[in-house]
Amino acid sequence: MLGSVAAALLLWGCTAQHAATGITATPSAALVRDTATALPPTRTATARPQLPTATPSPPPRLFTEDFSAGSPGWTFLQASAGQEAAAPGVSNGFLRFDLPAPNQWLYEIYPSQRYSDVRLDAQVELGANGQAAAGLICRYDPAAGWYEFNVYADQTYTLLFGQWLTNGVAHYTPLVIDKSEKIAPSTNEIGLQCQGDILTPYINGVQLRRRQEKLHVLEQGQVGISASSFEDSPLVILYDWVSVSQP
């Protein structure tokens, strides 16, 4: 899911010339008159007060996002079998993904920062009955690929290597496919740690099977969240919050 520019600065010099005028009265035997010449009044320029320039705050690197204002700092992407979905919106304090059709993969990517080692956590509701998946993304690079950890309503979880083939079409290579009774049918707290070449998933505070990835090597990239549908639709997936921290 960034050259050097040389600038030449030309200095303009201005030289102000001042002329001084002297007036002399010629003395006579009867009278000597001194004449003083009044100079025109000098205007004093009053400088306008300079208002402080607001400097925008840089996007945070480590944070917890509760999506109370939607997801304005995130970028929406999707891979689908043809029918497009709308970008997620806020509903009752959750970031809501609506998946109207089967085989849709929706993403919110945080593009402002790139990370090598990072830990992501989120609380998510898998929503209605049927097949659905929610997940976390690390080291996302639109050209190189990304790592993705998904949990499914049937207590399956996967670690995937994803890669765009073309606009809106992605290919997913399974790295780990397993099941865990720690996955609840509805609300789960999920986590993914990407450190070195080790991918470590978490479910509700419990560490799952780690993966050392030597084949599909990604050194850094952006982070994000995902929502997916399969055979059943429509589906709704809700994110309560997402946290980005150091491992």
> Could you tell me the pLDDT band of residue 128, with boundaries at 50, 70 and 90?
low
- What domains sit in the chain, N to C, each tagged with a CATH number? 63-245 (2.60.120.560)
Q: For the segment 34-43, what is each residue's pLDDT rounded down to a tens digit?
A: 444 455 555 5
The single residue listed with the structure tokens 């956590």 is 121
Predicted local distance difference test score (pLDDT) of residue 232: 81
Q: For the segment 85-101, what is each residue's pLDDT rounded down to a tens digit?
A: 999 999 999 999 999 99
- Distance CA(157)–CA(176), nearest Å, equals 8
> Could you tell me the pLDDT band of residue 246, with boundaries at 50, 70 and 90?
very high
Q: For the segment 155-208, what is each residue's pLDDT rounded down to a tens digit?
A: 999 999 999 999 899 999 999 999 999 999 889 999 999 999 999 999 999 999
